[in-house]
Structure 1
Amino acid sequence: MDDSNRLEALSYFLKTKRAQLKPESVGLPPGSRRRTPGLRREEVAQLAGVSTTWYTWLEQGRDIKVSRSVLDCIAQALCLNRDEHEYLNDLALGTQVVSMKIQASPMTISPSLKKILSALTTCPTIITDRYCHIVGWNPAAAHVFVDFATIPESQRNLIRLLFSQKEFKVLAGNWEHFAKGFLSIFRTYYGQYSGDEWYTSFIQEMSNTYPEFKSLWMESQVSKAPEILIEFRHGKVGKMLFDLTSLQVQGEDDLRCSIYTPVEESGTEEKLKRLISAQ
């Protein structure tokens, strides 16, 4: 995203996090004459040890000079977690990263990753890139989710599929929680690759097409590796429970390996084995 979009994203993030804070949670009286939820700008400024005018300019998305030390104080005042703090730094400092060229054909993953995929026979596993494009999966994932090979490569984006494919909404018993988790991961990329216009275009397209995406995206959740318990309602074997483990793959392609581990004593692994053997 260019500087104007980056600063607009910074402005919205700061406003959202300020509105989500209760005064009493930071040692301030709740008061009875508050017109809007959350803290006032001057209260954030006071907690961070900066002037109200300067913080107002920052929240308005003005192009002003900021330092990491001051951003640390802002993050503390807004009670940001580590991932949210990094996201704030990325947006405020304007980290520029050369965007990855989107390939016309699927990315070739390494032999070692292919071996990992094939070895995880009872753990559905999906590999995505920094755009959340699905670039690899194992047979278990095809059995539990959908056969991604039947989806055109240009549409094989995990975020897009969450909102465009009815199968995902039917499958996930806690679909909103499921979607929020992946959106929080996607937002970390959005902040990290602030020089890439693809994100701005994609978010605008999704917001215009899917009202649910826009609503959940506006919550501004950020997490590199959210803890998600997935409840699937599979049409053939019924209820299945998985814990999601999200691992970053080191390398210039910035790949992520999402492993769905069957919850112990839930019968999920046995059901998955029946699905695979019936094929």
Structure 2
Amino acid sequence: MIDNIESLSGPGALGAFLRTHRERVTPEMVGLPGSARRRTSGLRREELAQISGISATWYTWIEQGRDVSVSAATLDRLAKSLQMEPAAREYLFSLASVKDPLAVPLSGAPDDSLKNCVNQITGPGYLLDSCWNVLAWNPPAGALFSGWLGKVERPNLLDFMFLHPLSRQLVPDWAERAKRVVAEFRAETSHYAHSDAVRQKVISLRGQSSEFNQWWTQQEVLAREGGARRFNHPLSGETRYRQQTFFPAGYADCKLVMLVPES
């Protein structure tokens, strides 16, 4: 039996993460004088607090895992003082459950390698960005959504659900699915609170679709999940799939949706 298993979240995990990084940073790395008489090569708590512009007592409480509220500004100063790489900074903010004000979503435009991945999927597959624009899709997806994909210049999944007449024919449980789509999209907008493109998409749909506007004002939030999907295709009849969603590495605002045919 293993004792003292490290917690993966909460104040204790945040304190342990900061302590480890503090012990890796030498005084010389941050412009402080070193000394051969130091018992440790890393920074002292007081030194880190000083260069970060925060109270030494306050920082000690954070590192000790006390239940204190840590602001984004404090985390930003600590991350910079500890010279954290982007991945470590992102992890720091996630441990504190605080949004990083400097986090910038990567471009959603897929390169050829990512597009080729979509084409390797045997079932319908497509890529969505933060506004749910369809960035790429494979031939099975084009066949499933024939009459929409390949027919409009900039296909958008939200526009399809609420503005394209094909959606109500293709999706047999349209009202149930469409209502959930709104709640899922609202949940995802928390990651793009400062995105003008996302804001404009919401404004546009609220003005064009009474159903979208009604469900948006209900303030429901649901995590995007997979599960059974049914379609009434005009040529293939009823088809059933299991939906899976993945997030490709290196594309912060891009997700890959796969529809796996049910046997």
TM-score by length of 2: 0.56
1:179-229 deviations in whole A, cap 9, x for unaligned? Answer: 234333322331111112222222122112100111222333334432342
Instruction: Give the direction of change, closer, same or farther, for the CA distance of 1:249–1:157 in structure 2 (3 Å limit).
Output: same
Q: Following TM superposition, by how much is the alpha carbon of 1:101 offset from its aligned partner in structure 2, in angstroms?
A: 7.2
Q: Which has the higher contact order (CA 8 A, sep 6+)?
A: 1
TM-score by length of 1: 0.53
Look up the match of 1:136: 136
Look up the match of 1:215: 214
Look up the match of 1:184: 183
Q: Following TM superposition, by how much is the alpha carbon of 1:158 offset from its aligned partner in structure 2, in angstroms?
A: 1.1
CA distance in 1, matches of 2:199, 2:131: 12
CA contact (8 A) 1:124 1:260 kept: yes
CA distance in 2, matches of 1:180, 1:67: 36
CA distance in 2, matches of 1:108, 1:200: 22
Look up the match of 1:227: 226
Instruction: Give the direction of change, closer, same or farther, for the CA distance of 1:218–1:67 in structure 2 (3 Å limit).
Output: farther
CA distance in 1, matches of 2:176, 2:111: 29
Look up the match of 2:203: 204
Flag structure 1 segments of 5+ consecutive residues without an equivalent: 1-65, 70-85, 265-279
CA contact (8 A) 2:107 2:251 kept: no
Look up the match of 2:170: 171
Q: Following TM superposition, by how much is the alpha carbon of 1:138 offset from its aligned partner in structure 2, in angstroms?
A: 0.5
CA distance in 2, matches of 1:185, 1:253: 17
Q: Following TM superposition, by how much is the alpha carbon of 1:163 offset from its aligned partner in structure 2, in angstroms?
A: 0.8
Instruction: Give the direction of change, closer, same or farther, for the CA distance of 1:158–1:198 in structure 2 (3 Å limit).
Output: same
CA contact (8 A) 1:95 1:194 kept: no
Instruction: Give the direction of change, closer, same or farther, for the CA distance of 1:181–1:251 in structure 2 (3 Å limit).
Output: farther
CA contact (8 A) 2:243 2:257 kept: yes
CA contact (8 A) 1:178 1:230 kept: no
| 1:149 maps to amino acid | G
Q: Extract structure 1 runs of 4+ deviating beyond 6 A.
A: 99-102
| 2:184 maps to amino acid | I
Q: Following TM superposition, by how much is the alpha carbon of 1:125 offset from its aligned partner in structure 2, in angstroms?
A: 0.7
Look up the match of 1:17: none
Look up the match of 2:246: 247
Look up the match of 1:151: 152
| 2:111 maps to amino acid | I
1:12-62 deviations in whole A, cap 9, x for unaligned? Answer: xxxxxxxxxxxxxxxxxxxxxxxxxxxxxxxxxxxxxxxxxxxxxxxxxxx
% of aligned pairs identical? 20
Instruction: Give the direction of change, closer, same or farther, for the CA distance of 1:174–1:228 in structure 2 (3 Å limit).
Output: farther
| 2:166 maps to amino acid | E
Q: Following TM superposition, by how much is the alpha carbon of 1:262 offset from its aligned partner in structure 2, in angstroms?
A: 1.4
Flag structure 2 segments of 5+ consecutive residues without an equivalent: 1-67, 72-93
Give the number of the structure whose residues are more often helix, by fraction.
1
Stretch moving more, 218-227 or 165-174:
218-227
Aligned length: 171
| 2:231 maps to amino acid | F
SS of equivalent residue, structure 1 residue 249: coil
| 1:245 maps to amino acid | Q
| 2:143 maps to amino acid | H
CA distance in 1, matches of 2:117, 2:107: 26
SS of equivalent residue, structure 1 residue 190: helix
CA distance in 2, matches of 1:222, 1:139: 32
